[in-house]
Structure 1
Amino acid sequence: MSSTKPLFLLLFLFMFSAVANAQEFGTLRGFVTDSTSSEALAYGNVFIKELGKGASTDSRGYFIIPSIPSNRNFTLIVSYVGYRTKEIQIRISPNKVTQYNIELIPSGVELQTIEKIGEKVFEKNETDISLQRLVIRDLEALPKGVETDIFRSLQYLPGVQSTGDVSARFYVRGGASNQNLVLIDGITLYNPFHALGLFSVVDPDMINNAEFYKGGFSADLGGRLSSVLSINTKDGNKNRMGAKATVSFLTVKALAEGPLPSGSFIMTGRKSYSNQIIKKFLNEQNAPVDFYDFSFKANYSNPDFIQGAKFLINGFFSGDKIINQDPRVEDFDWSNGLFGFKWFQVGDSPLFYELGFSYSSFNGKVIPKSSNVRNRDNKVEDLGIQMDFTYMFENRDEIGVGFHIKELKTELFLENAQAIPINLGKKGTNIVFYSKYKFMQWDRLGLDAGIRYNLSNLSKNPSAFNMEPRVNLTFRINPIISLKGAWGIYKQELTTITNENEVINIFEPWLIVPDYLLPSKSTHYIGGIKFNFSDNFMVDLETYYKKTDDVPMLNQDKTFSTDPDFISTNNESYGAELFSKITLGSVKFTTSYSYSHSYREFNKKRYYPKYDIRHSLNLVLEIDFGYGWSFNSAWVYNSGLPFTQIVGYYDKYYFQNLFGNWYDFDSRKPYSVLGVQNLGRLPQYHRLDFNLSKKLFIYDYNFTVDFSIINVYNRKNIFYFKRDSGERVNMLPILPTLTVKFEI
């Protein structure tokens, strides 16, 4: 506790260091939106020409600039990638908040012109570390494969690993996939994958923007150890009704949107109709997968009702089924559901707040073909309330406070070896208070210090820790070079049951950590340097060290009923990441490289997790030719993944009694003897993909045709060796795909 006292003192000193409003100054705020749909334009630039100061829009398109001299005329310049820059004359009232809402016109309305490519210019003392902001344009500019997919797009970033073509699951800086928090409009999504993990459940047509933290996230985010992916969905077109239909080799989907009285709506639906592509991903194995997802959102904003208020409701549902024809193989069924309500309020002062209610559920089943065997069922129910308040002072400092309340219940029904049904269910309440302060008044220094305090835990272990302090720091040496660093403690009280020896885990049930174990605790250390050589060329280098204690793992050595189901392990990971981006007119080239180490330790034994990749390199080229034509290509290289080698085989015999009066020989394939866990390394992996896209206007209708080739030179990347025969199984071969999108 004593170690956190200096942080408390620092936090409260900053809270009272803000100066009082001067009479001759005022504050500018507003929203930046698309003129054709009124959708928010996230992460755009708002700049006051005469003062040389500005701000960037947040995920809602909202911006605020304090300390502007009043009763004077200024030129406000608003710019956004792919939109025409707009200049307007503004005048700020003294001692008041003046609001200007700005609409930008897309620069690509005429397809005969090459859309202007520019990059987001962040504030000089931006405090977000290890953060990647994404908009839908970023996702569509990457090679699509079968479909645009946000999770697969993340795998082009440094520090994000995957285990190959067959899974959209991602692993961040040595953390397991269950240590990643996925939020849709602030609501937790527990199973974000379709089709054995091949694709994400989030329809990209529903996404407005996303924020992806690889570590060092601030005190308002928590509950996971490694990363946070916060997806913000579209509001829907406020100006006119619209519809869109898309057909690919895998799915058919539709979108509808349009205005409502003082608001708008949007809804999307997607359904699989072919298993041929999935069979390609699974090396021609028959996997009769059927899935769907459905999303909706509506908003209401009426100044005659409540000035500055916006109300949102949203929902999401998805389902997957695997029906195996083999009577000996189990079937699988799992589904997600979530619903949310949010009230976003901008007051007459530089205060804004959000109040939200949410419900999220997950239900997974393993259905045996035998009527005498009980289903294995996993259920998660998550009921939450959020209250977040943010205030900006005239000197640009910010303070944020909030309460998050979560009522969570997990259940796992199964049968033990004696066919006795058991329920590993548990429920609990997590109440969190957080406070953070952003010190932004100096142009060269940015500091975000915060504390996340758990007033109530899901775990009933009396030794569970409650305090999660965090600090982010940036320092600009000169206009080109900036230093950055972050430190923080993170806590997780949920886990999944994952068999480390399986190549693919189809059923990974969620559970609250048992009371006999401590919640997992991870400490992040991050340092880096960023070079902004120009608006079109940047290089970002980060190093990290992450130590994680008390990570639950399934007890593979359990022999007796009194042995625990889970044991605690410790993880350690460290590495360096390089990310560069250069833009030359309509050509953009990005490079990301990762060097990483990760290992897990228990019972004084150490081994590498299956996602430990020493070297990873991604090269992405994007070209906009104009006239509706665009091209993108990506080359991916990874050093070999760890795997457990087969050291021998044996035949299995069944004895009648201890004296072995007679025995029966198992005529099936021999059983394998495995060596030291993950001691071997698979060969290196590399692959080239490309995508060619064409936009068409035909009789006032919009068409987009995408032609893609995955694994252009048909590299035979190894997936795994079969345990029963040692036979090599490869990943995805060369695969051309075609997607057609129709919009009215």
Structure 2
Amino acid sequence: MIPKLKLFLLVTVCLSFFHAGLHAQENGTIRGIVRDSTSQEVLPFSTVMIKELGTGTSTNNRGYFVITSVPANRSYTVIVSYIGFKSKQVTVKVVADKVTDLEIFLIPSKIQLQEIEQVGQFVKAENTPSVSTTTISAKELNSIPKGVETDVLRSLVTLPGVQSTGDVSAKFNVRGGENNQNLIMLDGMPIYYPFHAIGLFSVVDPDVISSVEFFRGGYPSNYGRALSSVLKIVTKEGNKNRFAGNFSASLLSLKGLIEGPIPNGSFYFSGRKSTSNNILKKFVDQNELPVEFYDASLKLNFSHPSFFAGSKFTLQGLFSEDNLNFSKPTDPDYRWSNKILGLKIFSVGTDALTLDFGIVYSQYINSISQKQSTIKPKENEIDDFTISTDFSYTMSSKDEINLGIDLKYLKTKLFLENRFGFRSDVGASGLSSNAYVGYKFLQISDIGIDLGTRFNIASAAAKGDFFEPRINVSYSPIPQLIFKAASGIYQQDITTISDEREVLSLFDPVIIIPEELPKSKAVHHIVGMTLKLTTAFSIETEGYYKNIISAPTYNEEKVLFSDPDLLESKGEAYGGEIQTKYRSNLFDFSTSYSINWAFKEVNGIKYAPRFDSRHNLNLSFTLHLPADFEFSANWVYNSGHPFTKQLGYYQKLSLDNFLDDYRTYQLLFPVRYFDLKNSSVLPDYHRLDLILSKTLNLSFVNLHFDISAINTYNRKNIFYFDQTSGERVNMLPFLLTGTIKAEL
């Protein structure tokens, strides 16, 4: 497969350069950036169309776009549109073999679908392959009913192919993959534990989010080190026009944000602090959950035409900490913390070349303090220092070349203490390096091919394949219809040691996969179709097959100290998904349905993992009301998850102290015995969430109010069966929450 892939890539590149040479003098390039006029924030995924040609493109997550192969020596009308903003027309003169730069500012308005329809019946679909990819805007995040706070991670479970095993945690599984097979990045910086309040919601403040891209599979070669999915969160730059801020309060926390201009740039600073944990009892069956947390994030942007013209320098950080301190001395205490710092340089060349350079440090610490409990103290730490460089070049033929390389130093610590009080460090460290090259064949308007591979130059510990070849293809026979497919190999060298039997895991150590095990490896195969019936209504369907060739798993049968903590497992997952979206100036409506099968095999035993759920259905509705009111409803249904049923118990004779003068009955203790692993299924899950929002615009401040009703009809969804008492423990009951937010 590899020699043929190399030959195909070589021929494609050569033909493309030949094509580019023939047409370079006949065409020009339009390049630009789209911004919000009120703050100069970029508007990602805006629609950009050349009226006279009937073709167009979309801005990327930086608000940046490039249109090549535009016939030269003519003037064109460029029309830019973005939901919630007034469309704008700009006249531009294209010169042969030159790049024409634009900076376009859009004015906010109410959602006006008619205004968008005036752009044209259908803009020719951009032929860049995009398989299993979803973009989420900040506005869409705020329309999703809140558990307690608006959260980017909880929004993902409304998408097809994404499962969650309970209300208490925002951890998610994608298409049969473990929750430790998802890569979560904040502006390209990895977050190893992105959760607050034992997993209830994310450490990323939604007020700083500009856009979200979520890849459920089949992602191209520039994304690596993840077996199942990639979540790419891009933050905003900060208001460049004036100083602004907001303050909000919920039943759980207080938070605030300040942003504004600085000389030749902008900044923002955001902070959040817990104020009460009483509401958390609702999520854990009225048990005590004394969590205290905070997070803080900052970002500084700088650019100047006389200092590396065309470049933007960004310095940012994210800091978070959670402490779970129980009042009883017999209960252990827990701590989680993140420290993330990054320096980024983004540069646009004189032609269609961009450079993205970054230096990132990410640290995660998780610890258990024993106190007077029987739980032994533990501590886990991972330090990640990464230097990366990415290049992208758009040729006059419309084809793109993407390549990059990173150098990553990883160091993990895992301190464990045995029953005799001896403390050991089973951590590891090492240097790893990945490179990638990708070629997007886009010169034929109806066909798009994204062909690439990753190169595993060096590994920190576990060994894997040197190549990770991938291909994405799209074909659009008519503007309204796109067929697409993807296939590729994906590897991962970091994992967490987690026990699937734990209902709520409070210690998930992150480690480098040891040398005695292979790297995690999976193969994705995806086919799909997107049908845009009107500018307002679209249908998307996909089928997938994922072969998990190897992945480390917790050794549940470990008895002796010499037994390994991790075993090699394999598995497979397959299914189908369909998603519909309708958007109008009166209401938005979306549906998503998926049917899934997932299997895991350890030591020759094959079973369904705990997160497997056969049917998943999500219905979302948002009504835009007069007087700045908005009403949203979300109904979700999931088939029951597998679990291991307890069949009973028997009395076992303990001879640990057989020399002592005890009667025989005093040496008996109960031992539980179980059915086959995950051979039973819990009852189905469903619930209805509602949210009512109101915006009040005053002369000096904008006030936002919302009230959320979670599990409106008080469905008693089961969480688990207590193995000691056999009692049923339910998930979140009916919950009424609210937030208030003031924007200056």
Which category describes the TM-score, using the shorter chain as reference length?
over 0.9
C-alpha RMSD of the superposition = 2.0
Q: Which residue of 2 aligns with 1:349?
A: 351
- Quick one: which of 32, 35, 39 aligns to 2:34? 32
Contact conserved, 1:655 with 1:662, CA < 8 A, in 2? no
The answer to whether residue 231 in structure 2 is matched with residue 233 in structure 1 is: no
Is the 8 Å Cα contact of residues 644 and 678 (structure 1) preserved in structure 2?
Answer: yes
- How far the C-alpha of 1:277 sits from its partner, in A, is 1.4
Aligned-partner SS, 1:138: helix
Shift of 1:460: 4.9
The CA deviation string for residues 59-86 of structure 1, in whole angstroms up to 9 with x for no partner, is 0000011112233221110100100000
1:4 corresponding residue in structure 2: 2
Cα gap change, 1:484/1:115 in structure 2, threshold over 3 Å: closer, same or farther? Answer: closer
- Identify the range of structure 1 (350-359 vs 601-610) with the bigger mean alpha-carbon deviation: 601-610
The alpha-carbon deviation at position 660 of structure 1 amounts to: 7.2
Corresponding residue number in structure 2 for 1:48: 50
Asked if residue 550 in structure 1 is aligned to residue 537 in structure 2, the reply is no
Which deviations, in whole Å up to 9, do the C-alpha atoms of 1:429-449 show, x marking residues without a partner?
A: 111111000011111111000
* Structure-1 residue corresponding to 2:499: 499
Paired amino acid for 1:712: T
Q: Which amino acid aligns with 2:395?
A: F
CA separation of 1:136 and 1:349: change in aligned 2, threshold 3 A: same
Task: Please say if 1:262 is aligned against 2:264.
Answer: yes
**Distance in 1 between residues matched to 2:62 and 2:666, nearest whole Å:** 63
CA contact (8 A) 2:57 2:126 kept: no
Identity over aligned pairs, percent: 44
Alignment pair present for 1:127 and 2:129: yes
TM-aligned CA distance change 1:265 to 1:674, over 3 Å: same
Aligned to 2:729: 729
Q: CA deviation at 1:609?
A: 0.8
Asked if the contact 1:522/1:548 (under 8 Å) is kept, the reply is yes
Mark the CA change 1:395 to 1:670 in structure 2 (over 3 Å): closer, same or farther. same
Q: Tell me the distance in 2 between the aligned counterparts of 1:606 and 1:195.
A: 34
State the distance in 1 between where 2:480 and 2:679 align. Answer: 44
Deviation at 1:556, TM superposition (A): 1.8
The CA deviation at 1:122 is 8.0
TM-score calculated relative to the size of structure 1: 0.96
Counterparts in 2 of 1:288 and 1:650: CA distance versus 1, 3 Å: farther
User: Whole-Å Cα distance in 1 between the matches of residues 180 and 30 of structure 2?
Assistant: 42
1:551 deviates by 1.1
Aligned to 2:4, the other structure's residue is in SS state helix
Alignment of 1:552-631 (within 5 A): 552-631=552-631
- For residues 357-413 of structure 1, the C-alpha deviation after alignment (integer angstroms, 9 at most, x for no partner) is 000000110110149986311000000011000000111100011111111111100
What is the DSSP-based 3-state SS (H/G/I as helix, E as strand, rest coil) of the residue aligned with 2:141? helix
Q: Deviations over 1:464-509 (max 9, x none)?
A: 3221000001111323322111000000111111112111111100
Letter in 2 for 1:129: V
- Which amino acid letter does the alignment assign opposite residue 469 of structure 1? P
Q: Note the C-alpha offset of 1:96.
A: 1.3
Do 2:332 and 2:373's aligned partners in 1 also have CA atoms closer than 8 Å? no
Give the deviation of 1:458 after TM superposition.
1.5
Query: Bigger shift: 293-302 or 143-152?
Result: 143-152
Q: 1:315 aligns with which of 305, 314, 317?
A: 317
Tell me the residue number matched to 1:444: 446
Structure 2 Cα separation of the partners of residues 34 and 237 of structure 1: 10
Q: Distance in 2 between matches of 1:22 and 1:197?
A: 53
2:688 paired with 1:688: yes
In the TM superposition, residue 658 of structure 1 has moved relative to its aligned partner by 4.7
Matching residue of 1:214:
216
Aligned residue in 2 for 1:387: 389
After superposition, the Cα gap between the structure-2 partners of 1:424 and 1:444, relative to the gap in structure 1 and judged at 3 Å, is same
Aligned with 2:144 (options 142, 145, 160):
142
The unaligned stretches of length 5 or more in structure 2 are: none
Q: Distance in 1 between matches of 2:654 and 2:3?
A: 64
Q: How many residues align?
A: 736
Aligned partner of 2:108 in structure 1 is 106
Query: Out of 361, 377, 380, which is 1:378 matched to?
Result: 380
Shift of 1:667: 11
> 1 CA distance for matches of 2:658 and 2:560?
20
Shift in CA distance, 580/118, structure 1 to aligned 2, threshold 3 Å: farther
Amino acid in structure 1 at the alignment position of 2:13: M
- Structure 1 unaligned spans of 5+: none
CA distance in 2, matches of 1:612, 1:368: 34
Residues 729-738 or 477-486, more deviating? 477-486
| Greater shift in the superposed pair: 398-407 or 415-424 | 415-424
Aligned equivalents of 1:682, 1:641: Cα separation in 2: 5
Q: Is the 8 A contact 1:29 1:97 kept in 2?
A: yes
The structural deviation recorded for 1:677 is 1.6
Give how far 1:671 is off: 5.2
**Paired residue type of 2:181:** Q
After superposition, give the CA deviation of every residue in 1:92-122 in whole Å (9 maximum; x if it has no partner).
Answer: 22221110100000014xxxx8787969978
Letter of the structure 2 residue corresponding to residue 246 of structure 1: S
> Would you say the 8 A contact 1:244–1:741 is kept in 2?
yes
Q: Which residue of 2 aligns with 1:250?
A: 252
Residue 15 of structure 1 corresponds to: 13
Q: Is the 8 A contact 1:384 1:404 kept in 2?
A: yes
8 A contact 2:691–2:707 mirrored in 1: yes
After superposing the two structures, state which structure 1 stretch, 715-724 or 368-377, moved more.
Answer: 368-377
For 1:585 and 1:475, the matched residues in 2 are separated by 31
Q: Which residue of 1 aligns with 2:177?
A: 175
Q: What SS class does the counterpart of residue 478 from structure 2 fall into?
A: coil
Q: Distance in 1 between matches of 2:425 and 2:152?
A: 35
Distance (whole Å) between structure 1 residues aligned to residue 325 and residue 353 of structure 2: 53
How far 1:262 moved relative to its partner?
A: 0.5
Which residue is 2:360 aligned to?
A: 358
Partner Cα distance (2:501, 2:686) in 1: 24
**Shift in Å, 1:420:** 2.2
Deviation readout 1:522-556 (Å, 9 max, x if unpaired): 00010112211111111111000001122111212
1:665: Cα distance to partner? Answer: 7.3
Contact 2:462/2:493 (8 A) holds in 1: no
Distance 1:78 1:370, change over 3 A: same
Indicate the SS of the match to 1:37: coil
The 8 Å contact of residues 219 and 469 in structure 1, kept in 2 or not, is answered as yes
How far did residue 167 of structure 1 move? 1.0
The superposition leaves residues 146-173 of structure 1 with CA deviations (integer Å, 9 ceiling, x where unpaired) of 2110111010000000012111111000
Letter in 2 for 1:44: S
Counterparts in 2 of 1:483 and 1:665: CA distance versus 1, 3 Å: farther
Letter in 2 for 1:234: K
Once residues 719 and 669 of structure 2 are traced to their aligned partners in structure 1, the CA distance between those partners, rounded to angstroms, is 21
Counterpart residue number, 1:644: 644
- Residue 444 to residue 24, structure 1, CA distance change in 2 (3 Å): closer
The residue that corresponds to 1:676 in the other structure is 676
Q: Distance in 2 between matches of 1:71 and 1:687?
A: 60
CA pair 96-604 structure 1, distance change in 2 beyond 3 A: same
The aligned counterpart of 2:423 is 421
Contact between 1:654 and 1:664, CA under 8 Å: does it hold in 2?
no
Provide the secondary structure at the position in 1 that maps to 2:716: coil
Query: Structure 2: how far apart are the matches of 1:131 and 1:741?
Result: 31
Give the whole-Å Cα distance in 2 for the aligned partners of 1:310 and 1:74.
29
User: CA 1:620/1:16 → structure 2, altered by over 3 Å: closer, same or farther?
Assistant: same
Matched to 1:672, the amino acid is: R
Given the alignment of the two structures, is residue 738 of structure 1 paired with residue 725 of structure 2, yes or no? no
Does the Cα contact within 8 Å between 1:399 and 1:438 map onto a contact in 2?
Answer: yes
TM-score by length of 2: 0.96
One-letter identity of the residue aligned with 1:272: S
Question: Which residue of structure 2 lines up, in the alignment, with residue 519 of structure 1?
Answer: 519
C-alpha contact 2:177 2:228 (8 A) present in aligned 1: yes
Q: CA deviation at 1:23?
A: 2.1
Paired amino acid for 1:728: R
Q: Which residue of 1 aligns with 2:662?
A: 662
User: 1:736: how far off?
Assistant: 0.9
Instruction: Measure, in 2, the Cα distance between the counterparts of 1:373 and 1:178.
Output: 24
Counterpart of 1:87?
89
How far did residue 304 of structure 1 move?
A: 1.9
* Residue number among 400, 403, 415 corresponding to 2:402 in the alignment: 400
